Amino acid sequence: MGGSVGHEHGPYTLYDLDALPEEGRRYELADGWLSELPGDLWHDNAATRLKDILKNAARQADADVHVAGTPQDVTTPAGLRKPDVFVVARDVARAALERRTRTYYGPDLLLVAEVVTPRTGNERIDRVHKVAEYASTGIPHYWIIDLEPRPTVTMLELEGVDYRLSRKARAGEPVKVDRPFPMGFDPTRLSEME
């Protein structure tokens, strides 16, 4: 963190998060602690590919939604997260634009997807902490994207107050879902470069 934040050892606030210098780094704030989001060529490419896939599927389904992701924020009970990809109703996105806010409220989200960066501290956050946070926020669908050894999409669906495994699709097995809108794609597309 260096000397850029007033209290080097936390806990941190939204003001501290906003005071961080713009150096191309991305941070989340959870339970008073800042964590730097990993990013590499493969992670960022997969997030971009998934956004494109979801946008095209939403357009084909004539779904009244907006597909977004980092650098926009989502509030959870723990603090502020920056999902790689998320889907909200178009009127929610329009209201955020009119308010000129970059923050969405967890209950407004229809789907959240995180691309896991293996062998980092954020892997545990994506697989454990965010599962609990997104469920307690009431987000109906949470997808965990693994790129190694081959792309896999783990689809969790909210049932009551917890997520249950809806389906797991590996490269070569199509993802086929009806909610939040109908779509189908092969997870292999998430590792393709343009």
Q: Give this prediction's pTM.
A: 0.84
Q: Given this model, what pLDDT does residue 174 score?
A: 93
Q: Given this model, what pLDDT does residue 4 score?
A: 43
Q: Given this model, what pLDDT does residue 115 score?
A: 95
2 φψ region: left (φ > 0), alpha (ψ -120 to 50), beta (else): left
Q: Given this model, what pLDDT does residue 38 score?
A: 66
Which of 187, 23, 66, 178 shows the shortest CA–CA distance to 116?
Answer: 187
**Percentage of residues in the chain with pLDDT exceeding 90?**
62
Which sequence spans correspond to the domains of the chain?
A: 1-36, 39-191
CATH 3.90.1570.10 given to domain 39-191:
yes
Taking all residues of the chain, what is their mean pLDDT, rounded to a whole number?
Answer: 88
Q: Cα(119)–Cα(134) distance, rounded to whole angstroms?
A: 22
Looking at per-residue confidence, does 4 or 142 come out higher?
Answer: 142
pLDDT digits (tens, 9 = 90+) for 24-76: 667 767 777 777 766 678 889 999 999 999 999 999 999 999 999 877 889 89
* Residue count (the chain): 194
Amino acid 10 reads G
Which of 61, 78, 176 shows the shortest CA–CA distance to 129?
Answer: 78
Residues whose CB falls within 8 Å of the CB of residue 149, separated by 6 or more in sequence, listed in order: none
**pLDDT band at residue 136 under the 50/70/90 scheme:** very high
What are the CA-CA distances from residue 67 to residues 48, 93, 174 (Å)? 11, 9, 21
